Amino acid sequence: MADQKTLIPVERIERLIVLIRGHKVILDVDLAKLYGVGTKVLNQAVKRNQRRFPADFMFQLNQEEFENLRSQSVTSSRWGGRRTPPFVFTEQGVAMLSSVLNSERAVQVNIEIMRAFVRLRQLLASNAQLARKLELLEKKYDAQFKVVFDAIRQLMTPPEPNKRRIGFLVKERSARYGQRNLH
C-alpha cells in the first residue's frame, strides 16, 4: 500500500497546517482547493451541517488573527480580496468534512490530510523524545561533554528566518569636512 500513488503529496498538505490558538488547523480556502470546490461551497456545506462542527472542530478567526495571518502570507492572491476572516478546521473538523462533502475526491483528500496530521504528530513526538534523551545524557556525563551537548541542542533548534534588507545600498565617497582650499 505504501507504493500507491497519492492524490496530493503529504508534504504539500503539511505546509498548509498552521498553529492558531494552540491548535493545528487548515484554512477553509486551502481545504477548498484540496477538495476541488469553491470556498463558498465548502462553508455552505458546513453551515448546513453545523451540529457536526463544534468549536473544537472548527472556528472562525477573529479580525486580529486574520490580519496577522494575512501579513505573514507571501502572496495576497491567496486571499482573493476576502472581507471576512476565514474558518479553520482542526484534525477532527477535517475528518468530519468527508461526511459533509460526499465525493470520492473528498474521501481520498481526507485520507491524505489525516496522514499529514499523523506524520506531524510523530515528528513532534520524536523531537520531544530526543530532547528528553539529550537531557538525561547531559545529567549523566560531566562538563567535558557540555560543548557537544550545546552543539546538538543548537542543531535541534529551527533556524531563524533571514531578514533581508529592502532597498538599495549606495556607496558614496565621504565628504572631507574641516579642510578648505583657499587657492
CATH code, domain carrying 78: 3.10.260
Same-domain status, 98 and 14: yes
Examine the domain organization and report whether 79 and 132 are in the same domain: no
Instruction: Report residue 46 as a C-alpha cell.
Output: 458546513
> Is 41 in contact with 140 (CB distance < 8 Å)?
no
- pLDDT, residue 107, reads 73
Neighbours of 32 (CB within 10 A): 18
Structural domains of the chain, count: 2
Are 135 and 116 in the same domain? Answer: no
Inside any domain, residue 163: no
Q: Domain check: are 118 and 133 in the same one? A: no
Is the per-residue pLDDT at 129 higher than 70?
yes
- Our CA dihedral for 156, 112, 18, 34, rounded to 10 degrees, sits at 140
- Is-contact 159 141, C-beta < 8 A? no
142 within domain boundaries: yes
> Is 181 a member of any domain?
no
Domain that holds residue 49: 10-123
Nearest Cα residue to 66 out of 78, 48, 52: 78
**Partners of residue 27 on adjacent β-strands:** 88
Clarify whether residues 36 and 70 are in a common domain: yes
Do 135 and 73 share a domain, yes or no?
no
The C-alpha atoms of residue 122 and residue 125 are separated, in whole angstroms, by 5
Query: In this predicted model, which residue has the larger pLDDT, 95 or 164?
Result: 95
Let me know whether 65 and 32 are in one domain: yes
The DSSP letter of residue 50 is G
111 and 148 inside one domain = no
Q: How large a percentage of the chain has pLDDT more than 70? A: 69
Residue 88 has pLDDT above 90, yes or no: yes
Q: Is the pTM of this model over 0.75?
A: no
Q: What digits encode the pLDDT tens for the residues 8-55?
A: 777 777 788 888 888 889 999 999 998 888 899 899 999 999 999 999
Record the cell numbers describing residue 123, joined without a space: 515528528
Q: Provide the angle, in degrees to the nearest 10, between the axes of the packed helices 104-140 and 146-156.
A: 170
* pLDDT(103) > 50: yes
By C-alpha distance, which of 40, 131, 43 is closest to 93? Answer: 43
Q: Are residues 41 and 71 in the same domain?
A: yes
